[in-house]
Structure 1
Amino acid sequence: MRNLATCYNEHAIKVSDSYCSGNSNNIYVPPALIPSIQDEVSVLYKVEVSTQTLLFITLTWSTHNIDYAFTININDHHSNSSKSFSLRKIKGSKRLEPFDFKVELIWDLSKAIYEVGPEPVKGYFVAVLVNSELISIGDHVDDLEVKKRVLDYPLAKCSLVSRNERFLGNFECSSRVKFFDTGMWHDILITCVADDKTNKTPLSMCVCIDKKNVIDVKRLRWNFRGNQTVFLDGMVVDLMWDVYDWFFQSNTDSDSNTKLRSRAGIFLFRPRNGLDSRLWLQEKNLDEKEEQKVGASLLIRACKNPS
């Protein structure tokens, strides 16, 4: 997500009129568009255990995995070491090595329920034990037979940092996200429609939150980057978009799979402390920014189909 910030500076960003999550007369009417396909979801967690160990755990769900399994990446912040593990079984437990501390993964997807994407919406359980401290990163199951294996473990401090979702298709991306621990769930819909009658080139963009228009960008080819401030749950959320690659990236690459995933429009929803805080801090202040973070970010990558 940091790469997107380099596209902007304080003089390049224009903050438009703010949107408040209250009543609005501008009600969104969904068009008859073809939805994009969500093919990958990565969820990043920040974990602190009692031994002062700081971990960043990324859980990735992808349609490329067999039987809707997942990949987990564990990054030790202090040693700057990172390990990834792909889990193909529907349930089980696994000791994760090598680390300077004991790590065990416990998961159960046997009753997982899916909707349109690779990430289950309920009925599954994913937990990590670090030195016998529990990190629950997928507690969406009510089966006590599953949970009783970990009920006696103390809970480690765990917070959601960000969600990264990738979509394949031309027209419509939808997501459901909760930016703040004490906030509400919000429905996000991003649509792109053609200005001409041929309906081939998406030139206009509309972003809606909870069925209310937040952004309506005309002549998207010339307004391919921008920013808007919105208010959700009484807090400030910055919405940034960058669809430059949709229009100007070279098509000389003969590998269609590479071209499919590289021509991505980027939509970043990022909470911040308030109107008086800076949108982006300098690189040297990133640690300070992390300490001030008030909510979880959402990054949507919308990849066009190969031409």
Structure 2
Amino acid sequence: MSHHVTNRSQSSSSQPPVVQKLTDDPVNPKNAQSSVTCVYQSHIGGYWRNVTVIWSKNLMNHSVTLTVDSVESDYHQTCKIDLKPWHFWAKKGYKTFEVDGNQLEAYWDLRSAKFSGSPEPCSDFYVALVSEEEVVLLLGDYKKKAYKKTKSRPALVDALLFYKKEHVFGKKSFSTRAKFDQRKQESDIVVESSTTGPRDPEMWISIDGIVLIHIKNLQWKFRGNETVLVNKQPVQVFWDVHAWLFCSPGSGHGLFIFKPGASEDDSDKEGSSVGGGSDCSDQSKYYSTLSYSKSSPFCLFLYAWKIE
């Protein structure tokens, strides 16, 4: 059977849409569902394909879903794993499914997985996707256990994470993790805000415990962007928190975008404010930054939902 190898740039054009409303109703603790969406490019069946991994959790359910794109049609094959807290056995398992005639095998072990407020575990687990006795996608730090369980060899080229989207719920603080350089460890990102009280609203954005952006008079600077340095690497940060200040609680979210690389325009380094022409329709002027993720090896979208 002959195979064809497509390049990464062709595959990345089929990224998932950025604009995705979580719910039409105001958000409250009962219907709040945290989710983390990661899109990887992995070499499967002779093609570079997008593999979408979605971790989601609410009061009743916790799951991880793997979706592999087809190159022959618009049909995508999905493998869903329910991590039922009352079933120990459900946290370790094995499933098979097919994409374009290629058999894929999903293995997972999350019995000892540790979490830090996100539906995506941070350590002591693995999720492996195998094709033709090759581990084409491997998540987690239990790599030796994964290779032993799957009896498969490592991929010749590692899967590449190029897109991450996370919905986080909180009152004043929102945190996530991202790897801005594939050769280095993940960075801890924390967004903190003070939007109520007698003082003018403020916002702080910290990376690895260092406050890199401090916005005073947030009511006038609720939209903006700056370029910061993380481990001597420039990272562009965009924010839009109009909904935090001018919409009813739970009806909208703050949006933060983190994109490695220097800004094309030096004037973009300074934070800017936009007044007027705004509403609470859950739209942002920075939704157009989907184009940024196509030209960069990675882009993070953080949706911060305030729960009063």
Fold equivalence (TM over 0.5): yes
* Conserved 8 A contact 2:174-2:192: yes
> What secondary structure is seen at the aligned counterpart in 2 of 1:137?
strand
> What secondary structure is seen at the aligned counterpart in 1 of 2:201?
strand
> What secondary structure is seen at the aligned counterpart in 1 of 2:217?
coil
- 1:43 and 2:38 aligned: yes
Q: 1:77 to 1:248 in 2, by over 3 A?
A: farther
How many Å apart are 1:195 and its aligned residue? Answer: 6.0
Distance 1:304 1:136 in 2: 34
Q: 1:172 to 1:118 in 2, by over 3 A?
A: same
Q: What is the RMSD computed on CA atoms of the aligned residues?
A: 3.3
Q: 1:178 to 1:128 in 2, by over 3 A?
A: same
Query: Could you list the runs of 5+ residues in structure 1 that have no partner in the other structure?
Result: 5-36, 252-258
Other-structure match for 1:293: 296
Of the candidates 56, 62, 67, which is equivalent to residue 50 of structure 2?
56
Q: 1:210 to 1:153 in 2, by over 3 A?
A: closer
The letter of the residue matching 2:40 is: Y
Q: 1:275 to 1:40 in 2, by over 3 A?
A: closer
> What secondary structure is seen at the aligned counterpart in 2 of 1:179?
coil
Bigger RCO (CA 8 Å, 6+ sep): 1
Distance 1:73 1:60 in 2: 9
Q: Give TM-score, length-normalised by structure 2.
A: 0.69
Query: Could you list the runs of 5+ residues in structure 2 that have no partner in the other structure?
Result: 1-15, 20-31, 83-89, 269-287
How many Å apart are 1:121 and its aligned residue? Answer: 1.8
Distance 1:275 1:243 in 2: 21
How many Å apart are 1:148 and its aligned residue? Answer: 1.3
Other-structure match for 2:210: 212
How many Å apart are 1:166 and its aligned residue? Answer: 1.6
Within a 5 Å distance, the mapping from 1:232-271 to structure 2 comes to 232-249=230-247, 251=248, 260=250, 262-271=251-260
The letter of the residue matching 2:254 is: G
Cα deviation, 1:251-273, whole Å, max 9, x if unaligned, reads 5xxxxxxx83x51100110113x
* Conserved 8 A contact 2:91-2:111: yes
How many Å apart are 1:222 and its aligned residue? Answer: 2.5
Other-structure match for 1:148: 148
How many Å apart are 1:98 and its aligned residue? Answer: 5.2
Other-structure match for 1:8: none
Other-structure match for 2:11: none
- 1:114 and 2:120 aligned: no
The letter of the residue matching 1:240 is: F
> What secondary structure is seen at the aligned counterpart in 2 of 1:247?
helix
Other-structure match for 1:73: 67
Q: 1:96 to 1:210 in 2, by over 3 A?
A: same
Other-structure match for 2:5: none
How many Å apart are 1:238 and its aligned residue? Answer: 0.7
Other-structure match for 2:182: 181
Count how many residue pairs are aligned between Structure 1 and Structure 2. 252
Of all paired residues, the percent bearing the same amino acid is 24
* Conserved 8 A contact 2:42-2:137: no
> What secondary structure is seen at the aligned counterpart in 1 of 2:171?
coil
Distance 2:215 2:127 in 1: 40
> Which stretch of structure 1 is more off in the superposition, 124-133 or 235-244?
124-133
Q: Give TM-score, length-normalised by structure 1.
A: 0.70
The letter of the residue matching 1:265 is: G
